[in-house]
Structure 1
């Protein structure tokens, strides 16, 4: 097993870096590349003699030079790109520069300039698809992800393209769609995964995940380009984060054929099984009490579809929603609790909870207490938490 090119060591309260790499590997690693600041002895020890100009320029002198170059950049976007290039080459210099000038640098490396950088990515979208040299009738399906909610493990940056490739294979294997008529797309608005951002081999955009207006414009341009170039293609939205998944689907489902299997696919399968069970129970769906453990996009997608079915059977939307007790990260969805817009219709009124009985006498809105007080007839699990449904939970059902 090869040794890491360097490690940080603390001795007597002083942190130093111990470098194992030699030669060009030293200069190619931005975390240990001091550039022309290496002393003559360090150049000999690290085997980089002849790989740098013979003159030595101290880190402080380098800082003055790069700061002047930074200030000469004509626009904020060009300053952003200048800093990005420096970070790829010499992180020591990069972090020292932004630390020494933090108030001036923050608006460049983050908002608002990062939004302009996203606009630059937007300009590249059409070029990327044009380079595929495909005609309007050549694509039936486009599987896209922004990699924020990958398989319950969260933000995976551009590595999330693997989930789009995998889902395309499912379409081919299970639905018979020709693999050459499917495109896999990763939308890269950045990543909040610090492990990826600190990995010098990471290929994605090296900044925090962009949100808000800049993100929406990025997605809007993607949709505009692909619907214009491939007007017959269905848009599959794969593993978008909870803050965007439903909103993106609702925004574009009337623009182009759209499908989010986390929301719609999971709901269709679960509800199909549930309707079969309801028929066997000899109790109509509207008389059931339903607890959903995991009120994310999948859980609320199931609830929404069941509400639609209840409405078709004559119930009002409010009456149908009242048959659900949904639990999220903070327990039962209830009035006054911070939650996402798509969860709000399932918030239980506080007046209902005043009559609940709690173990230990203190209010608790976790699964055990919900089951004891509601005694549901249907229990659905869409949480990534294993082992949630033990015997003590199941026996509370009626």
Structure 2
């Protein structure tokens, strides 16, 4: 079987996922923003580890890395799955996909990808070689589709915001990281910001939160905005309400999503819910950007979304690199953990929260911008996606 293919995974200046068949490399996001280091992902075990430890993160990126990590394993020189009977090959792949499903519990994209990939291998029943070939092609197609979907989200979201803005210049705020580092390329919420910046420089300024306790904003969004040369300012999570009151030119808060229920309730990085409340109080748009793979039409509301709880150590201590090793160019970065809270104190560390649909202005997908019916508190995403 011939399996030579090269795919570029990013339309932005950043490339967090590199796939050139049969090799998968990902940007180690635990070292960002101080070092841009790629790690080799050659098996589903490598992919599982990278997702669980957050070397890669972001709902779309998790799904792509999971799918391609198994593709890399199947194409590895030491692997013999292609030599098996079709039934045995499909069973092996399904078992590895079930294992990858245990890496993170909240993001629906991962489970959507696994469901689709299982269907692909079950339909390729001629031989083990056909099963492997069909799986790899499907995983590669997911990579390419994610980039295209993100570019559509960026364009549609930018048009929506510009259509509701007064004047040519505007400011927006975003939370967590939703750009090329969290997707296969371009990004969702940060993709909208990137598209706004490209549209005749109509975007005057971006504010972004630190996103405690893992600091995805301070580390990763900051890194992306610097690379893309977009004017931006970092703010503490707790400073957003004060910022909105002091600067009325901030017209919208734009966030991503890990799972969106049929009624529009949205699970996203912890802290999103309180930003939506602040936006509602101050009369600003609150926009969710997500591919349709993040919409779970089987869920009536956000009450059914499982929220991942991470180690309390992420709250009780802070982790980073010593200032000396960052400043000393060319030296090895020295990771340090600094205990903040006293010993004996417990911490609650949910990774996500759920924002009620009534606080959300619009849900931007690659298929369109969805708003609530006049007078409604919830979306009807099943109807919206059926039209």
TM-score, L = length of structure 2: 0.30
Select the structure that is richer in strand: 2
Compare CA radii of gyration and give the structure with the larger one: 1
TM-score, L = length of structure 1: 0.29
